[in-house]
Structure formats: structure tokens, C-alpha cells
Chains A and B, each alone.
Chain A
Amino acid sequence: MKILVAVKQIAALDEDFELREDGKDVDPDYLDYELNEWDDYSYEEALRIMEAGGEGEVEIVPVTVGPDEADDGLRRCLAKGGERGIRIWDDAITGSDPSAIARILVKVIEREQPDMVFAGTLSSDHSFAQTGMAIAAGLGWPHAAVVNHLEYKPGDSSAVVHRELEGGLEEKLSIDLPAVLTIQLGINDPRYASLRGIKQAKSKDIEVLSHGDLGLSDDDVGEKGSLSRVRRMVIPEKGQAEMIEGTAAEQAERVAQIVKELKGAA
């Protein structure tokens, strides 16, 4: 059996940054890329299923949509396990919203025919919480979002999952397979890659595909294939926090004074 894990290199802002000239995004010179925090958890969940199965019984494949640099994210996964990754990119994909990204991933999934698909619940940069469930829509598969517990053995026709709801409540439910699950933080304790694993990952195979290779047209991806388009980005005005300056001792003294006044008044 096979588990496909959709991962993303997220963009984090430098301390100082500027918007691009057209105002529709941040100037890429001020962005750093790293693997989405949620994806460490979804990949770990796949690794555990692989390790619980017999030798060669379960294959796990990380997949991402992104430019060359996104290979780093795939290799970060492959350093922990798995033998190959897939990355899809070409210029026409630029400007894709999460639905258009999902449509690309759907084509990969139809080709790979996994038994289960994991994605992060959301990504820490834009937090749409959209890609995983849009994949499920494209496939017509059963789906559950914000999963923080999974009971599943290879070959099972259904799985038991917990959805993490608001306020600490959870829902336990069974779900038919194959399914798309979006994985929540805290479902497991992700491992660190070993130095040996990191070295081995460098020579693992990453297949690179274009949207055309997958049978998608230009209208399926990019802005044309998206459900929304960025009109502009705005740097919001900073909040009104009164900053307390000085040495740690001076800062603490002022904080203590504020706390005592507020407590006294209460």
C-alpha cells in the first residue's frame, strides 16, 4: 500500500521586508523558505504506518508543488524515510491559489493511486486550510480535517480518527478508505532526521513534472485556475503597545508596577 503526503515550503518574512513593486506580494528577496510545521507531523504519521508494516509493505511518497528550492522540503522528509519524492512546477503555476495547487496534486494522486493522502491542516504562512480538502473534492474521496489521532492498519477498509474541535473537544469518528486527512499539530512527536538520513536523502530520486505532463491545461492552473486573486497586500498599522524600554531590571520594575496597579484596582 502507499501513502502520499502533500507538503509545502512556506515563506517566512525577514525581520525587515518590502512589498513588490506591483504591491501584490512581498519582494522575494525578503523571504526565507522552510517546510511547513504541520507537514512534519503528517509525514511523521506516514512514517509510523510504514514502520509498523512489514518490510516493503508500505511506501510513502512526499509530493510538493513549488520551484527548485522546494526540493529542500522534500529532502527534509526523505531524510527521515521514503525513497522518492515528486515535485511539480513550471512558470504557468505561478499565482495559483490553494485550489489550483490541489488540482495539480489530484492529477499526481490519480497517477500514483495511493491508499491514503495526508496533508497539513494548514500552512503557517497564509493559513488558508484549503489545499487538503480541495484535493478530496477533486478526487471525490472521503475526507476529514484537523485530525489529531489516527487508528489505522494497512489493509483496513476504514480508519478511526479524532477531529480536534474548538475548546478542547474532540470528535471520534470512523471514515471509509481511501481518504484524504488533514493532520493537526500534536498528533505525534515528530522525529529529527539523523545525519546519515540527511546524507542519504541527497541522492534520493525527486521526479520533476510540469502541469502539462499531468494533462492539465494553462486554464487549470495559475490565476486562471484559481478561486481567488490577490488584489493587493497591505502592511497593517502596528498595534498600540506601549513599549517598555531599559535594562531587564528596569523593564521588570515597570511591569511589576503595572501589575500591582491593575491588581489593586481589580
Chain B
Amino acid sequence: MSGILVVSEHRQGELTPSSLEVIAAARQLKAEKEQPLMVAVLANNPDDYASQVNREGVDEIIKISTPEEEFQVDAYEAAINSLINERAPSIVMVPHSVDAWGYAPVVAERGKYGFASDVFGLRYEGDDLVATRAAYAEKIHMELEFPGKETVLLTVRGNVFKPVEGEGSAKVTDFDFSDASPHTQHLEYIEPESGGDVDISQAEFMLSIGRGIDEEENVEQFQELADIMGFTLGCSRPIADNGWLPKFRQVGQSGKTVASCNVYIALGISGSVQHMAGMKHVPNIIAINKDPEASIFSIARYGVVGDLFEVAEELRNHFE
């Protein structure tokens, strides 16, 4: 057993950025222990994606033609399981994406491979692979090992490894698998509701509210505060799920990434990993929370432990 196999992903005609991050994570392991690095591309027409993953350090690109152009869970599972059987890689790495949440645990259980999801740290201890991921709502890190497993499948957390750059000179091969009958059928994509003039991915200054605001009637005062300060109002998932603010204001994995943000004030947001995925890159995060142990403080530049209503009321006085 040797070699690292990366499964790249794409959606709506675009290679996902996390695919290049996973290749970067694989290169890091390859640097620790020299072994071939293979990248699989699954699509009805994999050629375009194949050239996009031809990056520095990749030794082989394996094109797998699937019945559908886009992701279909049964085809992905059948293709990946048979590719692993054929090539016997010691490590298989895929993005920790919503698609992978659907297929990776299935592939692992079918092959009885070692498995860890949402991994953000990898290293060898001697010959043994050690994967680090979070536990207890991000407050603890757990190191996992895979005794007796000749193949280990890992899903890799996004925004941790810097996407690999530089053109590579990988050889390109084709791989056929015996097709699985599909049990799901794609009907359509449903695009997110447009926010009209409000596009939080473009906002430079964000004031975001979370569960800590307690009640719907409190939303208005924070909208006013955001307006007075010249900030754009955002929110965490529970606020959008409750319908207190529209979904286009939601920051995080299933909402938007605040890509242009410079100052982010998080009010009553404890900081789930899904929320932080959309804002942890912001250089100036100011977190205001009553719980001194809230995860958000671990990524904030400034922290305020206190009653967010009192602090917000006082804050208002400085901008009116």
C-alpha cells in the first residue's frame, strides 16, 4: 500500500477551491514521506477539470467518466471504491464538502478503511498516520490513529491549507468502473435568494447577530445600530432559520463568506465551525459574548465578555 489519492470535486462547471486545498494537504504529507500523488477527476467529461488539477507535485491525474456530468452519490461511491481496490493507496483525501458528507462515510464503511472527517492537521509518527480534528464543539482537539488499516480515508477541512499553485507535469490516465445503478436523480439547482442591494460578500464592515439576541423583536435595534455605524447587518444560522432575517444575510458555510470584510463585530455568536468558515479570515474580528468560553474568542482580535444589549446600547451613543 502506498500513494496518496485525492478526489477532486466540482459543481456547476467549476472546480471547487477546496479541491486545490486538499492537493496542498496531500503535498505536505508527500514531503514528509515520498510517495506518488494521484488526483482523481469524476465527471461525464473530465478533461477540463483534469487540466485544472495538474498542479505542482501531482504525479498522476486519473480521469473517470461518470454517467452524469455533476455529482451523483452512487456513481462517486462505486468509482472511488473500485479505484481504491485497483490502486491500493495508503491515504485517500477528499474535501470536507456537503457532497463528501454524502459519499465519504459510505466509501469508508464499504471498504472498512480507516476514516476521519473534518481533519485539519496531518502528520506521520514513524510509519503511522495521525489526523487531528476538533471535538467537543471545537474546544478540544482530538488526534486519531488508524491501527491495522492499510487505507485511510480523510475529509479535509476547508480554508486551512493554502490552495496549491504552479503548473505540474502529471501523466494523465483513464479509469473505468462498473457503473452503479443510481438511486437519486438530479432535478434542479435552486439558487440562493438575491439580497438586492445587500451583498454581505462585498461588505467591508459587518455587524452580525446570533442566538444571543434572544428574541425577534430585538433584531430591529441591531439593524438600527448597524445603520448608525455604517455597518452591514449579518447573522448566524439560527437567526435565518427562525426567519428573523433573510437567508442572504447569513454568514457561514451554508450562507455566504464575507470575502471583503475588514471589521466584523459578532454579537451573541458563540462561533460554530460552520459560522466561522464564513468569517474567520477577517483581520479585525470583535466578539461580544456573555460566555467567556465561547469559541468565537479563539479567532477574534478583540473580545468583550458582557451583556450584549448593554454594550450595544452604550456603543450606540458613540455613533449617534
Residues of A bordering B, CB below 8 Å: 11-13, 15, 26, 97-99, 102, 121-122, 124-134, 136-138, 142-146, 160, 162-176, 179, 182, 184-186, 189, 227-236, 238-244, 248-249, 251-253, 255-256, 258-260, 262-263, 266
Flag whether B216 is at the interface (Cβ < 8 A). no
A175-B136 Cα distance, complex, nearest whole Å? 33
Q: Are A121 and B101 in contact, CB atoms less than 8 angstroms apart?
A: yes
A126-B287 Cα distance, complex, nearest whole Å? 24
Q: Which residue of the partner chain, among B73, B143, B254, B311, contacts A233 with CB atoms under 8 Å?
A: B143
Q: Are A233 and B105 in contact, CB atoms less than 8 angstroms apart?
A: no
Q: Are A262 and B183 in contact, CB atoms less than 8 angstroms apart?
A: no
Given contacts A126-B142, A185-B241, A168 and B247 within 8 Å (CB-CB):
yes
Q: Write the nearest CB–CB distance from B6 to chain A, whole angstroms.
A: 19
Q: Mark B161-191, 1 if CB is under 8 A from A, else 0.
A: 0000000000000000000000111111111
A128-B135 Cα distance, complex, nearest whole Å? 9
A229-B101 Cα distance, complex, nearest whole Å? 20
Q: Write the nearest CB–CB distance from A23 to chain B, whole angstroms.
A: 10
Q: Are A233 and B140 in contact, CB atoms less than 8 angstroms apart?
A: yes
Q: Are A239 and B109 in contact, CB atoms less than 8 angstroms apart?
A: no
A134-B292 Cα distance, complex, nearest whole Å? 36
Q: Mark B137-167, 1 if CB is under 8 A from A, else 0.
A: 1011111111101000000000000000000
A188-B112 Cα distance, complex, nearest whole Å? 35
Q: In the complex, which residues of chain B have a beta carbon less than 8 angstroms from the beta carbon of A124?
A: 137
Interface of B is mostly: mixed
Q: In the complex, which residues of chain B have a beta carbon less than 8 angstroms from the beta carbon of A186?
A: 237, 240-241
Q: Write the nearest CB–CB distance from B292 to chain A, whole angstroms.
A: 8
Q: Are B102 and A255 in contact, CB atoms less than 8 angstroms apart?
A: no
Q: Are B192 and A138 in contact, CB atoms less than 8 angstroms apart?
A: no
Flag whether B198 is at the interface (Cβ < 8 A). no
Interface of A is mostly: mixed
Given contacts A164-B98, A171-B188, 7 further A-B contacts (CB under 8 A): A26-B140, A133-B106, A146-B101, A165-B98, A229-B147, A251-B306, A252-B312
B contact residues, total (Cβ < 8 Å): 96
- Residue of chain A at shortest CB distance from B295: A239
Q: In the complex, which residues of chain A have a beta carbon less than 8 angstroms from the beta carbon of B299?
A: 239, 241
Q: Mark B295-306, 1 if CB is under 8 A from A, else 0.
A: 001111111111
Q: In the complex, which residues of chain A have a beta carbon less than 8 angstroms from the beta carbon of B311?
A: 248, 251-252, 255
Q: Which are the 7 A-B pairs with shortest beta-carbon distances?
A: A168-B192, A252-B314, A142-B183, A256-B318, A239-B298, A186-B241, A248-B310
- Residue of chain A at shortest CB distance from B114: A227
Residue contacts A-B, CB under 8 angstroms, 21 given: A102-B105, A129-B101, A133-B101, A134-B105, A137-B108, A146-B102, A170-B189, A171-B189, A173-B187, A229-B146, A230-B143, A234-B141, A239-B300, A241-B298, A241-B302, A243-B297, A243-B303, A248-B313, A249-B314, A251-B311, A259-B286
Given contacts A239-B297, A241-B303, A130 and B115 within 8 Å (CB-CB):
yes
A249-B145 Cα distance, complex, nearest whole Å? 49
Q: In the complex, which residues of chain B have a beta carbon less than 8 angstroms from the beta carbon of A129?
A: 101, 105, 117-118
Q: In the complex, which residues of chain B have a beta carbon less than 8 angstroms from the beta carbon of A189?
A: 242
